[in-house]
A and B are shown apart, each in its own frame.
Chain A
C-alpha cells in the first residue's frame, strides 16, 4: 500500500506539467560551456554520470576501508559485486582475463548505476541515450580489437578467415566476416539503449494515463497506476539484466581477442 502511494506521488509529479512521454530524455544544460564550435556544456546527463561515478567510488572506498576477515555488511556487498564480475571474467575469458578485470568491473558498475539511478523519479537515465551507449560500446570494440592485435599481431586477422571454406569463396566470405565483426558495437549499444528507452517511455505513458483517467474518474486511475507499480519492478529487473548482458558481451569479445581459438 505504502509503495503504491509513493508511486502515485511520483507518477503525478512526472505528469504534472502534462509531459510528452519523451520529455524525460531531454538534455538540459546546467553549466553552458562553449569552446569554439563545440558545445561542451555540463548537462543533466553529465551530472548523473558524475553522481554514478561518485556513488560507486564512495561505496567501494567505504567498503574497502578497514577491511576485515569477517566482512561487515557494506564490505560483503562490495565483495559480492567483486566476486560476481571476477567469476564472470574467469569463466568467460580465463585466467589471462584477470588483467582486464578493472575495465570490465568499471564498465559494469557504470552501466548498472546509470540504469538504476534512472529509476528514481526526477532523475535522468544517461544509458537511455544512444550516443552514450554507443560511446561505451565503441570503447569496448576498439579496446578488444587493440588487445587482439597486441596479443596476436597480424595473426589476429585470421579471425576473419573461416576454417575449411573453399579458397574460391574467400573474396566473398572475408568481407562478410569483417562486416559481421563491425556490427558488434552497434548491436551492443542499441540493445542497452533500446531497453532503457522503451522501459522509461512505457512508465511515462502509464503515468500519464493515471493522471488522465484519474481526473476523469478516480477509481479508473488506479488501473494504470497498479500496472505502473508492476512495471517499475520489471524495470529494476531490466536495468540489472541489461547491465549484465552488456558486461558479459564485453567478456565474450575479450575472449575472442585473447584466445583467437
Chain B
C-alpha cells in the first residue's frame, strides 16, 4: 500500500515534465504574439510606420546611387530603385499593419493564426 503511493506523484511529475519539455521545443508562434508584445501606443505605431517607409526609401535610393556610380548610368538605376524602395516601404507598412510582422513573403508559420506578430514590435 505504501509502496504504491510514491508511484502516482512520480507519474504526475513525469507528465508535467513532459509537458514542460514539449513547450520548449517549438517557438510560441501559435498565438504567442501578445505574450512577447510591447505595449503598442499610437505614437509608437506612428513612429514605426514612418520609420519603415523612410528606411526603405533610403535603402532603395542608396543602392540605386551605388549602382549608378559603379556602372556610370547616372540617373537611371537611382530612379528605378527609388520606386522599388517606395514599393518596399509600402510593403513594410502593409505588413506592419496587417500583423504579418517582418517576414518576407506572405507565408506564415504553419500554426499561426491571423493575430500574427503585429504586437512584437513597437
| Chain A residues engaging chain B, CB cutoff 8 angstroms | 88, 90-95, 97, 159-165, 175-177, 179-184, 186-187, 190-191, 194, 241, 244-245, 248-249, 252-253, 255-256, 259, 261
Contact = CB atoms under 8 A, between A and B. Distances in A.
Interface in B70-122: 81, 84-85, 87-89, 91-92, 101-109, 117, 120-122
**Would you call the interface of chain A mostly helix, strand, loop, or mixed?**
helix
Nearest to A158: B105
B25 A95 contact: yes
Contacts of A252: 101-102, 117, 120-121
Interface of B: 24-28, 32, 35-36, 38, 47-48, 51-52, 55-56, 58-60, 63, 81, 84-85, 87-89, 91-92, 101-109, 117, 120-122
Contact of B104 (A90, A93, A160, A245): A160
B84 A184 contact: no
Interface of B is mostly: helix
Nearest to A88: B36
28 contacts: A88-B36, A91-B27, A91-B32, A92-B36, A93-B27, A94-B25, A94-B26, A95-B25, A97-B27, A175-B84, A176-B84, A177-B88, A177-B91, A177-B104, A179-B59, A179-B60, A179-B81, A179-B87, A180-B91, A180-B104, A186-B58, A187-B92, A190-B55, A191-B51, A241-B38, A248-B36, A248-B38, A261-B109
